[in-house]
Amino acid sequence: MPHPKLLAEHHPAGYLWLRLARPERRNALDPGLLAAVRDALATEPEAPVLLGSADPAVFCAGADLSISDSERAVVSDLVYETCETIVTRPGPVIAVVTGAAVGGGAQLAAAADIRIAGPGARLRWIGPPGVDLAVGAWLLPDLVGRTAALDITLTGRWVGAAEALALGLVSRVTDDPEHAAEQVAADLAARGTSGGIGAGVKAVMAAGGLLDRLRAEREVNRSAWARVTAVGP
């Protein structure tokens, strides 16, 4: 179903724009918003999708810290479900990162097939305080190598746009990332890579344990949230 905080726009060139639009909470994720993102990605699985923000100052602040622990546990689980949808859908997903991407927001960006950043982009793989979550361990080694992935995930430090480009976390940094991403999406749509060779490329890239690691991290974090919600406030 449409969600008031998710702006969906079908472009005549054949791609879909999805923009998080919850600026009052820095696009923080609650179950409804994240489920809407997942459903939009799954409803048109062959369409190229641009995933970004209506507010260029932020991509996504991760899970909404104002909701209950049980709701944040649902958000955590939905992050992995949405990431799996991104990885397995035949159509490419391009993340347009123009500001901060934290926790679940960084996970969504990293799961995308292509990441294009603005100069103000910065990413941080960290969970909420008081919950021992593994965040990004399933994917970052493939993107940046084990040493850099351990540094990023264990310290929870920020990775700015320049470092993200040097590490290979993003494919390019540009002053107008939305325009650059739209050009890529239009080209992919015109070439028909969604259901053809593009789907084959994505299937090969997902082989070799990527989805197994995603599901393993999901289970680790389910257990962590179970401990928190069992104790209660």
**pLDDT by residue (tens digit) across 35-75?**
999 999 999 899 999 999 999 999 999 999 999 999 999 99
Burial class (CB in 10 A: 0-12, 13-18, 19+), 128: buried
Determine what percent of the chain is predicted with pLDDT higher than 90.
85
SS3 state at 14: coil
Instruction: Say whether pLDDT at 196 is over 70.
Output: no
Rounded distance between C-alpha atoms, residue 218 and residue 99, angstroms: 26
SS3 state at 127: coil
pLDDT in tens, 8-23: 999 999 999 999 999 9
CA angle 204, 81, 59 (to 5 degrees): 95
Residue 28: Cβ within 10 Å count: 24
**CB distance 104 to 79 below 8 Å:** yes
- β partners of residue 19: 7, 52
Rounded distance between C-alpha atoms, residue 29 and residue 40, angstroms: 15
3-state secondary structure 172-220: EECCCHHHHHHHHHHHHHHHCCCCCHHHHHHHHHHCCCHHHHHHHHHHH
CATH of domain 6-178+185-228: 3.90.226.10
pLDDT in tens, 71-85: 999 999 999 999 999
Q: At what angle do helices 104-111 and 69-88 cross, to 10 degrees?
A: 10
Instruction: Say whether pLDDT at 152 is over 70.
Output: yes
